[in-house]
């Protein structure tokens, strides 16, 4: 009887097992045809972001949802491979995609728990899920995952599967793959990590957000210790290695600065170009773009622009707190303080802070990172008006909850500052080939993404005069030509609109002066008369040689004073023509584009002065203009630039009506730089804010660094240029003249006629000569 019962029981079990097996086989036969192809794995193309580099090979920008660096399996440190196996799948090299013991353990665990499937995922199953399936915890998904794992194991070798896993897995901080995670968390190449770091990285796949060492280092260490113990238990490491790894301190890479230099505006320019060519593939193909930027130039430009803008802003006083925030009840609750400031950005070294308390001699505030600081003494002076009882600023008085800006002084103390309202731009190019060496399109890209260097159409003011003077040289004017700097009235019939009575900046008139003097001291009345003499249509056509568009420069007399519209980049290209001897050089900022394997897919073919570039003005014209603009620097409106201690600098200041815009455009034979300041919503910068006051200091600070190791060069006159002594009052050749002037050989002025003098004059002249 008992035997019969046992027989029936065993038979029932066998039948149930057979039925289950048949059901599994049936399910597999039904599911297998619907499984995806493994082409994605056999021809693995990881989503690698667009990366942008400087001419020095330094990373300046990255675009793409996934930050990823592909690494081959033979380049992965052995310690990391062992740590991953210990943490995720210690029988990886023994099973065929599914670990049956693990599966049985998981089935039992989930049966007793209720429903949700857990655990038992091998590395191969994780590869299947990451590439082809969702993360929903259902039996159907788990079954498909197992079948796919078998299929993957049948098609790929173990090392290839592990390589796919190491490069594809998400590990937090927008990092996909262990190579990128090593950079994100430790600031290291994968090949440079130690055992302790390898164990910490290997602990991330289980729950990247939970074990993120940046967010919670203590929790990450607990997971790390588990991985190390598993490595020891599996004989991957010795007891000594385990003890040493446990004691090894982990230096977490918390550096906010991801890129080698601040070049966000250029990175965005490159992104737009690459996207227009490759569309969405631009962000996944691993394209590398090498720009023309140089680190030394870009950093110098960035520092100079911010310094100049802050100096301007300081001259015009503190405007009070940006806003007022609702403080938490507990001012010691750092997390709550951080929460109320989470949407407020810092600007480099200008940090956001919320005021916690104010006393007569100190302000206590909390930074975004939760640090509490005290501002005392002289550091409060800039905001003294907003700390007192001035009834005019009562509503904006600094008080608890006020959002202020602070920065550290050279003495390492904190002081109150503010974000400037004014904007600026700086662009520097090589005039010999058009390569952009530095470009800063605004004070802070994260606060204002509008690129003022390339997109801001502004009036150039007097910085446009050199192009009119260049046209005059072609019409027979010389640097010695006398022009009357006298009052001028133009009625409505002459202007086509309102009557116009232009003035010089200083309100004074110099009378008859040489053209060189008119440019050196930026005389408006003389410049207008030059334009009248050469003709509006001629001048309008002539400026197109420098790359300007006629439609932005109407043929009216204010064109002589820069009443048209230009961008800083256009001015840089225009001045490059003077610097390189008369050639028009189109600017460029992309040197080459490479694919993910480093193969060049595009190479910029740039033009070079005196080789394949178009000569647009006579080299003698370029020389005379440079020579006259050197006077602007040595003794004119840009005399402040003499601080550079160089005599090979030429340039021109520019200030528009009511000081809406301030410019300085200057160059040395191998570098042209243009600086601009102004408000996005045009308004006066202040009565004394001229190009020489506001824009020139930025240019000087940049050039002081950019030209530091470049020797002073002498510009020799080209063939066809002659010198002669002239009379400073008449501009005529004069053997008794006190000035030497350059001329086109065919445009020498006549000699001074002394024949009208009395008979004794000839004898007196002979005495002077002999």
- Which of 391, 417, 443 is at the close of a domain? 417
Inter-CA distances, 242 with 190, 226, 263, Å: 20, 11, 44
**Are residue 154 and residue 240 in the same domain, yes or no?**
yes
* Cα–Cα dist 120/98, whole Å: 8
**Percent of the chain whose pLDDT exceeds 90:** 67
The whole-number average pLDDT for the span 374-384 is 91
Q: Residues 614, 639: contact at Cβ < 8 Å?
A: no
Widest Cα–Cα separation across the chain: 162
**Are residue 446 and residue 571 in the same domain, yes or no?**
yes
Q: Which H/E stretch holds residue 56?
A: none
The whole-number average pLDDT for the span 561-570 is 97
Instruction: Evaluate whether residue 622 is within a structural domain.
Output: yes
CB-based burial label for 225 (10 Å; 0-12, 13-18, 19+):
middle
Predicted confidence band of residue 264 (pLDDT cuts 50, 70, 90): very high
**Are residue 533 and residue 452 in the same domain, yes or no?**
yes
* Cα–Cα dist 596/467, whole Å: 45
DSSP code string of 288-322: EEEES--HHHHHHHHHHHHHHHHHHHHHT-----S
Instruction: Evaluate whether residue 58 is within a structural domain.
Output: no
Contacts (Cβ under 8 Å, ≥6 apart) of 165: 84, 123, 126, 127, 130
Indicate if the pLDDT at residue 593 is higher than 60. yes
Predicted confidence band of residue 101 (pLDDT cuts 50, 70, 90): low
Domain that holds residue 725: 721-769
- The set of catalytic residues is 88, 462
- Which of 385, 417, 449 is at the close of a domain? 417
Instruction: Evaluate whether residue 297 is within a structural domain.
Output: no
CB 465: neighbour CB atoms within 10 A?
A: 27
Contacts (Cβ under 8 Å, ≥6 apart) of 132: 35, 36, 40, 148
**Are residue 439 and residue 410 in the same domain, yes or no?**
no
The whole-number average pLDDT for the span 88-104 is 77
3 state SS for 739-768:
EEEEEEHHHCCCECCCCCCCCHHHHHHHHH
Predicted local confidence at residue 700, as pLDDT: 98
Q: Residues 543, 570: contact at Cβ < 8 Å?
A: no
Q: 285-289, 351-355, 496-500 — which is least confidently predicted? A: 496-500
Indicate if the pLDDT at residue 213 is higher than 50. yes
Instruction: Evaluate whether residue 313 is within a structural domain.
Output: no
Predicted local confidence at residue 395, as pLDDT: 85
Q: Residues 400, 355: contact at Cβ < 8 Å?
A: yes
Is 369 or 29 the better-scoring residue by pLDDT?
Answer: 369
Q: Which H/E stretch holds residue 661?
A: strand 661-668
**Are residue 483 and residue 396 in the same domain, yes or no?**
no
Indicate if the pLDDT at residue 429 is higher than 70. yes
Instruction: Evaluate whether residue 501 is within a structural domain.
Output: yes
Inter-CA distances, 437 with 534, 626, 677, Å: 36, 21, 20
The whole-number average pLDDT for the span 480-499 is 85
615-646 residue pLDDT tens: 999 999 999 999 999 999 999 999 999 999 99
Predicted local confidence at residue 317, as pLDDT: 94
**Are residue 460 and residue 546 in the same domain, yes or no?**
yes
CB 756: neighbour CB atoms within 10 A?
A: 6
* Cα–Cα dist 702/696, whole Å: 10
Q: Which two tokens stand for residue 379?
A: 């550091």
Is 433 or 69 the better-scoring residue by pLDDT?
Answer: 433
DSSP code string of 564-580: S-B-HHHHHHHHHHHHT
Predicted local confidence at residue 766, as pLDDT: 41
**Are residue 98 and residue 235 in the same domain, yes or no?**
yes
Q: Residues 634, 647: contact at Cβ < 8 Å?
A: yes
User: Look-up: residue for tokens 């330094």?
Assistant: 58
Q: Domain tally for the chain?
A: 5
Q: Which two tokens stand for residue 365?
A: 């505030």
* Cα–Cα dist 349/257, whole Å: 12
CB-based burial label for 340 (10 Å; 0-12, 13-18, 19+):
middle
**Are residue 350 and residue 460 in the same domain, yes or no?**
no
**Residue 369 belongs to a domain with what CATH number?**
2.40.50.140
CB 243: neighbour CB atoms within 10 A?
A: 13
Q: Which two tokens stand for residue 58?
A: 């330094």
Terminal Cα distance for the chain, rounded: 153
Predicted local confidence at residue 601, as pLDDT: 96
User: Where on the phi/psi map is residue 718: left (φ > 0), alpha (ψ -120 to 50), or beta?
Assistant: beta
Instruction: Evaluate whether residue 279 is within a structural domain.
Output: no
* Cα–Cα dist 637/242, whole Å: 71
The whole-number average pLDDT for the span 501-528 is 95
**Residue 173 belongs to a domain with what CATH number?**
1.10.3810.10
Predicted confidence band of residue 14 (pLDDT cuts 50, 70, 90): low
Indicate if the pLDDT at residue 397 is higher than 70. yes
Q: 126-140, 367-381, 429-443 — which is least confidently predicted? A: 126-140
Predicted local confidence at residue 115, as pLDDT: 47
* Cα–Cα dist 583/619, whole Å: 8
Phi, psi of 524 (to 5 degrees): -70, -45
User: Look-up: residue for tokens 């009345």?
Assistant: 525
Predicted local confidence at residue 144, as pLDDT: 61
Instruction: Evaluate whether residue 579 is within a structural domain.
Output: yes
**Are residue 81 and residue 151 in the same domain, yes or no?**
yes
* Cα–Cα dist 572/85, whole Å: 58
Indicate if the pLDDT at residue 248 is higher than 60. yes
**Are residue 544 and residue 676 in the same domain, yes or no?**
yes
Predicted local confidence at residue 768, as pLDDT: 37
pTM above 0.75, yes or no: yes
Indicate if the pLDDT at residue 241 is higher than 60. yes
Instruction: Evaluate whether residue 281 is within a structural domain.
Output: no
703-725 residue pLDDT tens: 999 999 999 998 899 999 999 99
- Which of 370, 386, 417 is at the close of a domain? 417
**Residue 469 belongs to a domain with what CATH number?**
3.40.710.10
CB-based burial label for 548 (10 Å; 0-12, 13-18, 19+):
buried
**Are residue 15 and residue 101 in the same domain, yes or no?**
no
Helix ranges (H only) for 234-279 are 239-247, 264-278
**Are residue 72 and residue 215 in the same domain, yes or no?**
yes
How high is the mean pLDDT of the chain? 88
């Amino acid at each position: 009887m008992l035997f019969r019962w046992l027989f029936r029981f065993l038979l029932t079990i066998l039948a149930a097992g057979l039925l289950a097996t048949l059901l599994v086989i049936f399910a597999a036969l039904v599911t297998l045809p619907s499984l995806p192809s493994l082409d994605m794995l056999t021809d693995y193309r990881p989503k690698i972001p667009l990366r942008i580099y400087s001419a020095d090979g330094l990373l300046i920008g990255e675009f793409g949802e996934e930050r990823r660096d592909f690494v081959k399996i033979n380049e992965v440190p052995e310690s990391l491979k062992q740590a991953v196996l210990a943490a995720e799948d210690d029988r990886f090299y023994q099973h065929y995609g599914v670990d049956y013991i693990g599966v049985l353990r998981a089935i039992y665990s989930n049966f007793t728990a209720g429903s949700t499937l857990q655990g038992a995922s091998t590395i191969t199953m994780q590869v299947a899920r990451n590439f082809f399936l969702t993360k929903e915890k259902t039996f159907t998904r788990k079954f498909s995952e197992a079948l796919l794992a078998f299929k993957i194991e049948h098609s790929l070798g173990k090392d290839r599967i592990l390589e796919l896993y190491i490069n594809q897995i998400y590990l937090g901080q927008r990092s996909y793959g262990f190579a990128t995670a090593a950079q994100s968390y430790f600031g290291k190449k994968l090949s440079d990590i130690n055992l302790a770091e390898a164990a910490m990285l290997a602990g991330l796949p289980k729950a990247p957000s939970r074990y993120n060492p940046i967010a919670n280092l203590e929790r990450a260490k607990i997971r790390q210790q588990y991985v190390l113990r598993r490595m020891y238990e599996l004989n991957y490491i010795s007891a000594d290695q385990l003890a040493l790894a446990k004691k090894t301190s982990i230096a977490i890479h918390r550096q906010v600065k991801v890129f080698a230099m601040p070049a966000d505006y250029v990175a965005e320019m490159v992104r737009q170009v690459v996207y227009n060519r490759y569309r969405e593939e631009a962000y996944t193909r691993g394209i590398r773009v090498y720009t023309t930027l140089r680190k030394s130039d870009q950093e110098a430009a960035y520092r100079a622009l911010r310094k100049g803008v802050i100096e301007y802003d300081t001259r015009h006083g503190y405007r009070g707190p940006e806003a007022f925030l609702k403080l938490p009840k507990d001012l010691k609750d750092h997390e709550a303080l951080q929460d109320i400031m989470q949407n407020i950005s810092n600007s480099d070294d200008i940090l956001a802070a919320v005021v916690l308390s104010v006393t007569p001699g100190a302000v206590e505030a909390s930074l975004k990172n939760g640090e509490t600081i005290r501002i005392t003494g002289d550091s409060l002076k800039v905001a003294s008006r907003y700390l007192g009882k001035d009834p005019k600023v009562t509503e904006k008085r600094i008080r608890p909850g006020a959002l202020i800006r602070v920065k550290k002084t050279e003495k390492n103390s904190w002081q109150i500052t503010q974000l400037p309202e004014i904007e600026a731009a700086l662009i520097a190019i090589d005039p010999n080939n058009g390569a952009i060496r530095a470009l800063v399109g605004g004070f802070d890209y994260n606060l204002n993404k509008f690129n003022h260097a390339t997109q801001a159409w502004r009036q150039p003011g007097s910085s446009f005069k050199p192009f009119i003077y260049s046209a005059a040289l072609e019409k027979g004017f010389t640097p010695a030509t006398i022009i009357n700097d006298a009052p001028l009235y133009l009625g409505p019939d002459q202007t086509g609109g309102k009557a116009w009575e232009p003035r010089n900046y200083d309100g004074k008139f110099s009378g008859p002066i040489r053209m060189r003097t008119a440019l050196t001291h930026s005389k408006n009345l003389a410049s207008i008369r030059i334009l009248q003499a050469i003709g509006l249509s001629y001048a309008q056509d002539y400026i197109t040689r420098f790359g300007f568009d006629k439609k932005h420069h109407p043929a009216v007399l204010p064109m002589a004073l820069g009443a048209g519209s230009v961008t800083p980049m256009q001015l840089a290209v225009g001045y490059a023509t003077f610097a390189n001897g008369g050639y028009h050089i189109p600017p460029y900022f992309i040197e080459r584009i490479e694919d993910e394997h480093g193969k060049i897919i595009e190479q910029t073919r740039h033009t070079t002065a005196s080789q394949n570039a178009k000569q647009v003005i006579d080299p003698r014209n370029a020389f005379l203009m440079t020579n006259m603009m050197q006077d602007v620097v040595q003794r004119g409106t840009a005399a402040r630039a003499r601080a550079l201690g160089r005599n090979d600098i030429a340039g021109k200041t520019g200030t528009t009506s009511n000081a809406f815009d301030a410019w300085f455009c200057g160059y040395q034979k191998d570098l042209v730089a243009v600086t601009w300041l102004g408000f996005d919503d045009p308004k006066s910068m202040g009565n004394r804010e001229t190009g020489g006051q506001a824009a020139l200091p930025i240019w000087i600070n940049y050039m002081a660094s950019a030209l530091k190791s470049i020797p002073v060069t002498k510009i020799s006159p080209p063939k066809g240029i002659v010198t002669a002594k002239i009379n400073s009052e008449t501009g005529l050749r004069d053997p008794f003249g006190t000035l030497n002037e350059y001329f086109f050989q065919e445009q020498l002025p006549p000699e001074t006629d002394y024949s009208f003098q009395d008979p004794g004059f000839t004898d007196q002249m002979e005495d002077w000569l002999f």
